[in-house]
Structure 1
């Protein structure tokens, strides 16, 4: 089995040795595009068992030990932020993403056109299925010859952690902590592998958008999608939340450390010491059990805050209604 301790589902800017980005963005203030908090799912919080000691996990990622954690009430969007929503933010503020400022982003090789692949000059040796594509960014996710016109209800991708934080500042929201994310993803279940239970395809039904076939050369797409799926695809979990397994990685507020469960408190845990990488949760459409089995609710991964790929997005949270 080609099981890796390094996530196949993300690539980092540091792997491609990029040039420096442009100047910093101007400070953003909350605008008329404030998130529709009435559409959020409001969770009561409380105690739950976080982490896993399962054999199919990645101990090196710091998925355990399992422990009882308490979190305060919070609100969460039932969906990842969409292309339509991010486009409204860009239109209102003129914000320029880091992918645009760097001039390139990572595109999965099977999604790029032949013309785009022919122009690629840089491929990271550690993850050669990722192409450094000039001109790839959130509105042109596979490069200059692509479009999101028919994907407005898909999750926005090619957003860095810094881009996600800027959207939150404008919309009056915030990123979830890892503990909040896992509490929400579990949907009220205890000790289960996925947001819906332990069986990947209950009754033969696909419940998430992940890789089927031989990674990274053949995706059978039996779940219906080769790339991203609409944010409301598949059935929601017990809390009414969609696509917390697969589709796109979701940035979290924490800095990443493999020692997370040993170093953070058991009440509203969050790792705040700078480590150079931010946490991501949920896996993506590229995850496959044979390699990157990180679409489990306890799985963790990370990337540098300025990195962007065609399978990283985010969802937002809030502390209370109307604030």
Structure 2
């Protein structure tokens, strides 16, 4: 998609994607560099000693993610989560939670920034009456459901922000967006944990408490709201991962740096062909397994970089 009107195709489970415009290896055991922070391997290389000790002065609001070796993808996942590949990741800092409405407001106030939804005059919203996506006039980051609906709470993740908007915020904050392999490495707790979610294989703990904000029912017919939230929830509401991150499962999809690409092409050293969509990770409050189980650690989604959606936000990272 390159035209704004085409954003109504809203793709939760689209195609195949990986790190864009970057070179990968085919079978060389030494691997090749994807970015200054990533090396990719078709087969498991000899492990290196990960950087596990946080440096002095972890930035406020961020978590240290140790470097290490992580296997990307899932054998039991969707086609766009295969084939599995190995990535060596350098350490980095990651925002503890997605950027909030209050944090984004500080950016807008300081820079007078105007989001793409504001420039277009609308944002994509799921109309629960028609059960169809629509471009709603006046929907923007402060009022993601539209001007007639309540404003977004300050402690909720900001939405109705495009990839381009997220890039602008990251530059202002002295950070960047994560590569999707960095994102999955962090979701796997920087230890290559193989559970479905960062905290295990179930969304409900032994006490019956929900551990993430997802759709509880059959999408889009009914949401039982068993987790307490029909739309977004406050960041950190469902606790932290073993690494200390929040909202890595559900709540909002999160923009990543990369263009959509097939993992097989990454391993073959092929650059993205016809790059028109950016990757998102983490799933959202609209995801349920019968429709979109994207909130698994290996889940992926893709949308054009100018698109603004009521269930997509972002978090930032910073190099160590």
TM over 0.5: yes
The answer on whether the counterparts of 2:8 and 2:124 sit within 8 Å (CA) in structure 1 is no
1:37 to 56, 59, 72: 59
Q: Which residue matches 2:174? A: 172
Q: Shift of the alpha carbon at 1:50?
A: 1.3
SS at 1:38 equivalent: coil
More displaced stretch, 192-201 vs 75-84? 192-201
SS at 1:169 equivalent: helix
2:248 to 244, 248, 252: 244
Q: Which residue matches 1:217? A: 221
The answer on whether the counterparts of 2:7 and 2:124 sit within 8 Å (CA) in structure 1 is no
- What do the CA deviations read for 1:118-176 (whole angstroms, capped 9, x no partner)? xxxxx8xxxx5222210000011111123436x10000000000000000111101000
Report whether the alignment pairs 1:50 with 2:52. no
Q: Shift of the alpha carbon at 1:89?
A: 0.3
Q: Which residue matches 1:202? A: 205
Q: Which residue matches 2:95? A: 77
User: How has the CA–CA distance of structure 1 residues 189 and 221 changed in structure 2, closer, same or farther, with 3 Å as cutoff?
Assistant: farther
Output the aligned Cα RMSD: 2.2
Q: Which residue matches 1:25? A: none
Report whether the alignment pairs 1:94 with 2:112. yes
Unaligned runs of 5+ in 1: 1-11, 18-35, 111-116, 118-122
- What do the CA deviations read for 1:101-133 (whole angstroms, capped 9, x no partner)? 0001111223xxxxxx7xxxxx8xxxx522221
Q: Which residue matches 1:158? A: 160
SS at 1:244 equivalent: coil
Q: Which residue matches 2:278? A: 278
**Within 5 A, what are the aligned runs for 1:1-323?**
13-16=5-8, 37-54=59-76, 57-59=77-79, 62-110=80-128, 128-148=131-151, 151-187=153-189, 188=191, 190-203=193-206, 204-257=208-261, 259=262, 261-264=263-266, 275-320=275-320
When normalised by structure 1's length, the TM-score is 0.78
- What do the CA deviations read for 1:271-295 (whole angstroms, capped 9, x no partner)? 7666100000011000011111111
Alpha-carbon distance in 2 for matches of 1:199, 1:246:
13
Q: Which residue matches 2:27? A: none
User: How has the CA–CA distance of structure 1 residues 73 and 271 changed in structure 2, closer, same or farther, with 3 Å as cutoff?
Assistant: farther
Unaligned runs of 5+ in 2: 10-57
Q: Shift of the alpha carbon at 1:200?
A: 2.6
Alpha-carbon distance in 1 for matches of 2:272, 2:214:
30
The answer on whether the counterparts of 1:189 and 1:197 sit within 8 Å (CA) in structure 2 is no
User: How has the CA–CA distance of structure 1 residues 301 and 16 changed in structure 2, closer, same or farther, with 3 Å as cutoff?
Assistant: closer
The answer on whether the counterparts of 1:177 and 1:270 sit within 8 Å (CA) in structure 2 is no
The answer on whether the counterparts of 2:161 and 2:308 sit within 8 Å (CA) in structure 1 is yes
- What do the CA deviations read for 1:49-68 (whole angstroms, capped 9, x no partner)? 211111xx211xx2022222
Q: Shift of the alpha carbon at 1:262?
A: 2.1
